[in-house]
Structure 1
Amino acid sequence: MRVLVAVGTTSAVVGLVAACGADASDDSDPERRSFALSGRTLTVDSDDSAVELVVAGDKGARDVRVTRWFDGRTVLGKSPKVTWKMDGDRLTLRVKCSGVISNCSAKHRVVVPRGTAVDVVNRDGSVTATGFREPLKVRTADGSVRLRDVSGPLDLRSVDGSVRAVGVTSKRVSATSKDGSVRLDLAAAPDRLQARSQDGSVDIALPVTGSKGSKKSKGSGEGGAASYRVDTETVDGSTDVTVPRDDRSPHHVSVRSADGNVTVRSAN
């Protein structure tokens, strides 16, 4: 009888933990820490966490400032543990959450000094970034990529997650997704844009007239109006290109999709 009671009690606890999903936004008292950064590059190595990247507002800041929200619980396992450390220019963020039943949620907000190039690798978590002017490289597994108002060179790759970027004025853009769609909204004509998707659609919006930062050049019309050298390829999908095309244009756009549609349209 005692064994049955124990099993019944454990089952009730397991059910309670499973029913009450962890949510990092429930953490009303997040932890904060600053890490010294001597150089002009930062690598963020993270897992099991959403990562938000923001450029520091103060020009003189040289520290990387991190805010961490965490909520978690386990049954018949070790207590959840979150760690952070800086080694040289590498910031490592870890979440350890294991048991018969485990339920954890973490979010890190990383404020980066101005003028810093960032390389992010995140497993089992999304990445968002805003306002970057320096090179930004993002790799995610089981997580989406969301960018806004960026102007530095972009290299974005996601596995089992979509890629979205809006307000982009970068001259060089590369975006790849496996098992996810790609959508890029550009506010200035790129020199080179490459987008790839496997099992997902690709939607590219390009400025045609009055584009921000555009200038009259070969392949452009009056008032900075842009045309594009576009090449596309699809497998099991349709193609729709409605931007002005010119094989001599300095703005090269290359799009490939397997099992998804390709759209290259005007952003104006």
Structure 2
Amino acid sequence: MTRTRSTRRVLAATDGLALLLVGVTACAGASAGDDEHPDQRTFALSGRTLTIDSDDSALEVVAADSNPAGKIEVTRWWQGSVAIGSDPKATWAMKGDRLVLRLKCSGVIADCAAKHRIEVPRGVSVKVEDGDGSVRTRGFKDALSVRTGDGSVRVTDSTGPLTLHTGDGSVHAEVSSREVHTTTSDGSVHLEFGVVPDLVESRSGDGSVTVALPKGAAKYRVTTRTGDGGVDVSVPRDSSSSHVVSARTSDGKVTVRNAN
């Protein structure tokens, strides 16, 4: 049987689509952890504040005693492929007190991933702005602010004031900070304190909120609210206390208890 011209066109398009799907499967799932030869670079920091400006990367930010004053150490892992389009590229630059991290990955069947570890000397206040990616931090005695559009936030071993926000992801902090503010539009919040805090404000649009406070003689002025879920407050309460805890969620359980 002779194939018509239109039939041949359909078959050619189908074959092309099949090859395209094979290409998608072949390059999908890039992982920055697969980079066995990460790049390293040192940046100079003149002041005592640092803003980390990232568009698309998982971030680990660490306060390091080994870092000399005025030096930021950055390690970068990344992988990327683009079937049709410009080659992917990861860039980094220090602009004043702002460390700018960019991942350029666009085209047909683009698949890229990046991860950065940033070591910051003690005595520097840090602000993290990440468009898309999880953020992990530890060891900060000075003020720390973290904002990510999509990804979880985790903070440990820190004593300075904290402001933590994610548009979509969980927030987890195990700290000895006196003042903590957290918000997430969609995700759970778990805060555990090693010292009695002065002010805790925690909000979730959709997820449970748990605040674990030190055992002892302290009493707390606690306010809670949930649109759909239970409330369990088991710490000593005093409406005139200077230790204020506010925990709210639109959908989920609110728990304020003593730490284990």
**TM (normalized to structure 2)?**
0.92
1:151-166 alignment, distance < 5 Å: 151-166=159-174
Is it true that 1:180 corresponds to 2:200 in the alignment? no
Q: Do the aligned partners of residues 158 and 9 (structure 1) sit closer, same or farther apart at CA in structure 2, a change above 3 Å counting?
A: closer
User: How many Å separate the matches in 2 of 1:201 and 1:185?
Assistant: 14
Aligned to 1:127: 135
* Secondary structure in 1 matching 2:101: strand
Q: How far is the alpha carbon of 1:40 from its aligned partner?
A: 0.3
Any conservation in 2 of the 1:183–1:203 contact (CA below 8 Å)?
yes
CA contact (8 A) 1:208 1:244 kept: no
Could you tell me which of 21, 27, 33 is aligned with 1:17?
Answer: 27
- Which residue of structure 2 lines up, in the alignment, with residue 259 of structure 1? 251
Match in the other structure for 2:232: 240
Seq. identity, %? 54
> How far apart are 1:60 and its partner, in Å?
3.6
1:203 and 2:195 matched = no
What does residue 146 of structure 1 align with? 154
- Structure 2 counterpart of 1:194: 201
2:257 corresponds to 1:250: no
For residues 136-181 of structure 1, give each alpha carbon's deviation from its aligned partner in whole angstroms, at most 9, with x where no partner exists: 0000111110111110000111101110001x11111101110111
- Cα pair 2:67 2:119 within 8 Å, conserved: no
Larger deviation, residues 63-72 vs 244-253 = 244-253
In 1: Cα distance, 2:234 partner to 2:152 partner: 27
**Where does the alignment leave 5 or more consecutive residues of structure 2 unmatched?**
1-7
Opposite residue 234 of structure 2, the aligned amino acid is T
Equivalent-residue separation in structure 1 for 2:63 and 2:228 (angstroms): 40
Q: Deviations over 1:39-81 (max 9, x none)?
A: 0000001021001001122264321110000011111121111
Question: Aligned with 1:248: secondary structure?
Answer: coil
Q: Which moved more, 1:95-104 or 1:144-153?
A: 95-104
Aligned to 1:230: 222
Asked whether the 8 Å contact 2:54–2:102 carries over to 1, the reply is yes
Deviations 1:102-154 (A, max 9, x none): 11110000001110000011011010001100000000111110111110000
Tell me if structure 1 keeps the 8 A contact 2:187–2:204. yes
Structure 2 SS opposite 1:29: coil
Q: Summarize the Cα distance change of 1:12–1:60 in structure 2 as closer, same or farther, 3 Å threshold.
A: closer
Alignment of 1:32-111 (within 5 A): 32-58=40-66, 60-111=68-119
Displacement, 1:13? 2.5
Any idea what the Cα deviations from partners look like across 1:5-25, whole Å, max 9, x if unmatched?
98254443233123xx11111
Residue aligning to 2:5: none
**Residues 173-224 of structure 1: per-residue CA shift (max 9 Å, x gap):** 1011101111101111101111111011101100022xxxxxxxxxxxxxxx
What are the ranges of 5 or more consecutive residues in structure 1 without an aligned counterpart? 210-224
AA in 1 matched with 2:183: T
Work out whether residues 201 and 261 of structure 1, in 8 Å CA contact, stay in contact via their aligned partners in 2. Answer: yes
Who is 2:176 aligned against? Answer: 169
Partner of 1:4: 12
Number of aligned residue pairs: 250
Which secondary structure state, in structure 2, belongs to the residue aligned with residue 152 of structure 1?
Answer: coil
- Structure number, greater radius of gyration: 2
- Structure 1 residue 31, shift from structure 2 partner: 0.3
